[in-house]
């Protein structure tokens, strides 16, 4: 569903590719043994390798290499048996080496493809161009002093995976869907925590516009697009900007632009123009990186079930709708919770309770699933009580509310409060007889043709039974008695 | 290969953050062109079907275990900083 934009001279098509930087989950950095934890005191997680002291040698982290291979496999991509670390040369205060060790001509992961889920329920394939390993830079703080910048090198040398997509994305919705799916895959693989607030996942968006089916336009690279919302907003703005330029007879300049979320605009980063001459060359401190087929196969054997596989399984094995399945797989913890709650239960009913009641309730209380007062097995217990008619769906909501408060098991609450559904027809008959005796006028009216009063009688019976009467039995017996 | 001009040398010097006066640029262009000519000569050797030589020793890249065993010495790291405050390096303001 390529989204076209109407301009003054007709329709325009967007052509978008994304470069995502994902920080690799590891204890230590790409080339040093310093910690990668977020939020430490400035420069407390810096080794002399990260500070680029003369004579220091980088030694690659074996686990980070495995993580990159694992991610490549999760992106259905080709793993390259030989890759080469190169130096990308530029000067900036938070880059003490004067170059970033990256991969250029020979990345560790080559071409692949992932599926994205669009809001209209359709699926589209987005090509992956490559994934390569590189060092992160440090962090500059500009707002602490009028004429000085402060530099913290804690992030310097942390391992990043740069994941580059093909220019297959055709609109902001597809871009958001791509980034969401990529984040989901990385989190399932546990190779990146996907935390965009802390900067462990950052996106650059390459955008150009063209007449539908026409030759590719000149693109601008938008940096600092660091949330799903920002992706949408930056694309909306940049596409408009380019169309206006082109329709006024101008030309789009190939350049790097910065997204400013406060002003809701992109602006040129002139300083980057010359910096594009990075003069890459193989890092003489590092030999080519070799990954054997045996290593790749061993990593492949550890891959978890990925989001799309899980979604299809939920639909086929549990009979869930595509929508319910996609809500449940959005987070691995959520999918695991559902499976535990659905164990030996009606899966559709369990899915309803997880999606509508549990997620809604947690959201209302501002809680994460991990902090849920109701454990998956406990919710399963509640679902089981509904399925075997011990309690009605209506009573179940009260039990659920009590479980959210106290964390007690559903069966305990039902026992303590005497909420067991009354299925004993004798008892229900007795209540119905009482109700009929108390409302002679309504009985007469109903028998005289006012069918709508049936609901009134059901309500009265349920009230008298404190909601515990089995609704199906009430309906049946009422109909019989009111005849 | 075409010869490097004075402007090319000026650009290279700037990328390497080297300050060069005008009269020096001419001299540097000449010497760099000398090196390039020698490279041209090497280019005459037929290297089709020859794998690039990454290193002369027949060894594999050594990797390390993912163990946190370094860092934690901000004072040492900052000991050569031109200026520091609250654990940060302090540099002239550079904003993109």
- Split into its structural domains, chain A has a count of 3
Regarding whether A37 and A104 lie in a shared domain, the answer is yes
Regarding whether A280 and A326 lie in a shared domain, the answer is no
A32 — phi, psi (to 5°)?
-145, 170
Regarding whether A224 and A252 lie in a shared domain, the answer is yes
The residue written with tokens 């291979």 in the block is A69
pLDDT value of position A82: 96
Regarding whether A347 and A289 lie in a shared domain, the answer is no
Are the Cβ atoms of A145 and B55 closer than 8 angstroms?
no
Please state the rounded mean pLDDT for residues A262-267: 93
Which of A417, A434, A465 is at the close of a domain?
A417
Testing the interface with B: which of A26, A29, A33 to mutate, by most B Cβ within 10 A? A33
Question: Which three-class secondary structure state does DSSP give residue A396?
Answer: helix
Tokens of A379: 């919710």
Please state at what angle helix A454-464 crosses helix A471-482, rounded to 10 degrees. Answer: 130
pLDDT value of position A2: 61
Mean pLDDT of chain A: 92
**Is residue B25 within 8 Å of residue B6, measured between CB atoms?**
yes
Are the Cβ atoms of A93 and B15 closer than 8 angstroms?
no
Which of A417, A439, A468 is at the close of a domain?
A417
In angstroms, the separation between the Cα of residue A65 and the nearest Cα of chain B is: 9
Residue A105 gets which letter from DSSP?
S
Whole-angstrom Cα distance, residue A150 to residue A143?
Answer: 9
Whole-angstrom Cα distance, residue A23 to residue A26?
Answer: 9
Are the Cβ atoms of A27 and B67 closer than 8 angstroms?
yes
Please state the rounded mean pLDDT for residues A166-185: 96
Question: Which three-class secondary structure state does DSSP give residue A186?
Answer: helix
Whole-angstrom Cα distance, residue A169 to residue A208?
Answer: 11
Among the listed residues A395, A402, A456, A383, the one whose alpha carbon sits nearest the alpha carbon of residue A421: A395
Testing the interface with B: which of A24, A27, A28 to mutate, by most B Cβ within 10 A? A28
- DSSP strand E in chain B: where? 84-85, 88-92
Listed range (A160-169, A276-285, A411-420, A448-457) with the worst mean pLDDT: A411-420
Cβ-based contacts of B64 with chain A (< 8 Å)? 33, 59-62
Tokens of B82: 């031109």
Number of other CB atoms surrounding residue A263 within 10 Å: 9
Which of A257, A281, A299 is at the close of a domain?
A299
Note the pLDDT tens digit of each residue in A99-128: 999 999 999 999 999 999 888 878 899 999
Regarding whether A160 and A35 lie in a shared domain, the answer is yes
**Is residue A202 within 8 Å of residue A196, measured between CB atoms?**
yes
Regarding whether A406 and A434 lie in a shared domain, the answer is no
Confidence grade of residue A270 (pLDDT, cut at 50, 70, 90): low
Q: Does residue A32 register a pLDDT over 90?
A: yes
Q: Which H/E stretch holds residue A359?
A: helix A359-364
A227 — phi, psi (to 5°)?
-155, 165
In angstroms, the separation between the Cα of residue B29 and the nearest Cα of chain A is: 18
Regarding whether A473 and A374 lie in a shared domain, the answer is no
| Any A CB within 8 A of B95 CB | yes
CB pairs under 8 A between A and B: 133
**Is residue A453 within 8 Å of residue A446, measured between CB atoms?**
yes
Nearest CA in chain A to B90: A150
Partner-chain residue, chosen from A64, A146, A288, that has the shortest CB–CB distance to B61: A288
Cβ-based contacts of A60 with chain B (< 8 Å)? 61, 63-64
Whole-angstrom Cα distance, residue A90 to residue A270?
Answer: 15
Note the pLDDT tens digit of each residue in B33-44: 999 999 999 999
Regarding whether A214 and A68 lie in a shared domain, the answer is yes
Please state the rounded mean pLDDT for residues B53-77: 92
* Per-residue burial over B29-62, b = 16 or more CB atoms within 10 Å of its CB, e = otherwise: beeebeeeeeeeeeeeeeeeeeeeeeeeeeeeee
Regarding whether A201 and A185 lie in a shared domain, the answer is yes
Cβ-based contacts of A26 with chain B (< 8 Å)? 66
Tokens of A195: 């935390």
**Is residue A248 within 8 Å of residue A193, measured between CB atoms?**
no
pLDDT value of position A271: 59
pLDDT value of position B47: 92
Alpha-carbon distances of A425 from A258, A415, B56, B81, rounded to whole Å: 72, 21, 91, 86
Alpha helices in A98-227 (DSSP H): 172-189
Are the Cβ atoms of B60 and A287 closer than 8 angstroms?
yes
pLDDT value of position A71: 98
Regarding whether A349 and A250 lie in a shared domain, the answer is no
| Any A CB within 8 A of B88 CB | yes
Radius of gyration for the alpha carbons in chain A, expressed in angstroms and rounded: 30
Whole-angstrom Cα distance, residue A109 to residue A370?
Answer: 34
The residue written with tokens 């990075």 in the block is A278
Residue A199 region by backbone torsions, left for phi larger than 0, else alpha for psi between -120 and 50, else beta: left
Note the pLDDT tens digit of each residue in A334-361: 999 999 999 999 999 999 999 999 999 9
In angstroms, the separation between the Cα of residue B70 and the nearest Cα of chain A is: 5
Whole-angstrom Cα distance, residue A34 to residue B67?
Answer: 8
In angstroms, the separation between the Cα of residue B79 and the nearest Cα of chain A is: 11
Are the Cβ atoms of A93 and B89 closer than 8 angstroms?
yes
pLDDT value of position B96: 58
pLDDT value of position A466: 81
Highest mean pLDDT among A67-76, A309-318, A461-470: A67-76
| Any A CB within 8 A of B79 CB | no
Regarding whether A264 and A318 lie in a shared domain, the answer is no
Are the Cβ atoms of A274 and B14 closer than 8 angstroms?
yes
Note the pLDDT tens digit of each residue in A213-245: 889 999 999 998 999 999 999 999 999 999 999
Cβ contacts of B54 within 8 Å, gap of 6 or more? A84, A282, A287, A288
Partner-chain residue, chosen from A26, A147, A282, that has the shortest CB–CB distance to B66: A26
User: What's the CATH number where A459 sits?
Assistant: 1.10.10.410
Number of other CB atoms surrounding residue A359 within 10 Å: 17
Whole-angstrom Cα distance, residue A28 to residue A46?
Answer: 11
Whole-angstrom Cα distance, residue A202 to residue A480?
Answer: 67
Whole-angstrom Cα distance, residue A205 to residue A178?
Answer: 12
Please state the rounded mean pLDDT for residues B59-87: 95
Q: Does residue A291 register a pLDDT over 90?
A: yes
The residue written with tokens 């909306």 in the block is A236
Among the listed residues A108, A241, A249, A232, the one whose alpha carbon sits nearest the alpha carbon of residue A177: A232
The residue written with tokens 């399945």 in the block is A325
Regarding whether A390 and A436 lie in a shared domain, the answer is no
Q: Does residue A185 register a pLDDT over 60?
A: yes
Cβ-based contacts of A28 with chain B (< 8 Å)? 66-70
| Any A CB within 8 A of B91 CB | yes
Q: What range defines the domain where residue A349 resides?
A: 307-417
């Amino acid at each position: 569903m390529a989204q076209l934009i109407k301009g003054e001279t007709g329709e325009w098509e967007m052509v978008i590719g994304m470069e995502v930087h994902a920080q690799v989950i590891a204890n230590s950095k790409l080339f040093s043994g310093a910690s990668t934890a977020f939020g430490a005191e400035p420069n407390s997680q810096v080794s002399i390798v990260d500070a680029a002291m003369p004579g220091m040698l980088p030694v690659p982290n074996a686990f980070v290499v495995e993580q990159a291979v694992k991610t490549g496999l999760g992106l259905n991509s080709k793993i390259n048996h030989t890759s080469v670390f190169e130096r990308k040369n530029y000067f900036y205060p938070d880059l003490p080496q004067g170059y970033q060790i990256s991969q250029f001509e020979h990345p560790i992961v080559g071409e692949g493809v992932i599926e994205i889920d669009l809001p209209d329920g359709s699926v589209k394939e987005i090509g992956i161009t490559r994934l390569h390993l590189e060092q992160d830079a440090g962090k500059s703080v500009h707002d602490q002093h009028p004429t000085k910048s402060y530099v913290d090198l804690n992030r310097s040398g942390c391992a990043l995976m740069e994941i580059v997509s093909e220019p297959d994305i055709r609109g902001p919705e597809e871009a958001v869907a791509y980034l969401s799916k990529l984040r989901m895959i990385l989190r399932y693989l546990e190779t990146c925590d996907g935390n965009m607030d802390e900067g462990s996942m950052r996106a650059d968006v390459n955008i150009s516009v063209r007449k539908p089916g026409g030759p590719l336009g000149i693109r601008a690279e938008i940096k600092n697009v660091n949330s799903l919302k920002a992706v949408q907003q930056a694309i909306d703005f940049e596409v408009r900007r380019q169309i206006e330029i082109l329709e006024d007879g101008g030309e789009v300049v190939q350049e790097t632009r910065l997204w400013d979320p406060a002003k809701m605009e992109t602006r040129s980063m002139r300083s980057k123009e010359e910096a594009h001459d990075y003069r890459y060359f193989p890092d003489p401190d590092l030999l080519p990186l070799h990954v054997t087929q045996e290593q790749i196969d061993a990593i492949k054997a550890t891959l978890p079930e990925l989001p799309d596989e899980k979604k299809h399984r939920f639909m086929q094995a549990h009979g869930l709708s595509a929508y319910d399945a996609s809500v449940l797989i959005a987070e691995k913890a959520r999918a695991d919770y559902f499976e535990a709650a659905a164990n030996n239960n009606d899966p559709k009913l369990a899915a309803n309770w997880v999606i509508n009641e549990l997620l809604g309730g947690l959201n209302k209380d501002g809680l994460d699933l991990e902090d849920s007062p109701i454990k998956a097995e406990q919710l399963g217990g509640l679902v089981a009580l509904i399925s075997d008619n011990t309690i009605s769906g209506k009573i179940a909501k009260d039990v659920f509310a009590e479980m959210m408060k106290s964390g007690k098991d559903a069966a305990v609450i039902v026992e303590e409060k005497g909420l067991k559904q009354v299925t004993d027809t004798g008892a229900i008959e007795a209540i119905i007889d009482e109700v009929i005796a108390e409302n002679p006028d309504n009985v007469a009216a109903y028998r005289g043709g006012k069918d709508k009063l049936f609901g009134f009688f059901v309500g009265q019976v349920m009230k008298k039974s404190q909601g515990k009467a089995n609704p199906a039995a009430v309906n049946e017996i009422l109909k019989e008695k009111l005849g | 290969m075409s010869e490097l001009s004075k402007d090319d040398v000026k650009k290279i010097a700037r990328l390497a953050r080297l300050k060069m006066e005008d009269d020096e640029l001419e001299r540097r262009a000449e010497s760099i062109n000398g090196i390039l000519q020698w490279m041209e000569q090497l280019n005459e050797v037929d290297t089709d079907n020859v794998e690039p030589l990454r290193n002369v020793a027949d060894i594999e890249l050594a990797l390390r275990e993912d163990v946190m065993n370094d860092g934690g010495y901000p004072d040492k790291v900052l000991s050569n900083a031109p200026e520091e405050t609250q654990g940060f390096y302090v540099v002239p303001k550079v904003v993109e």
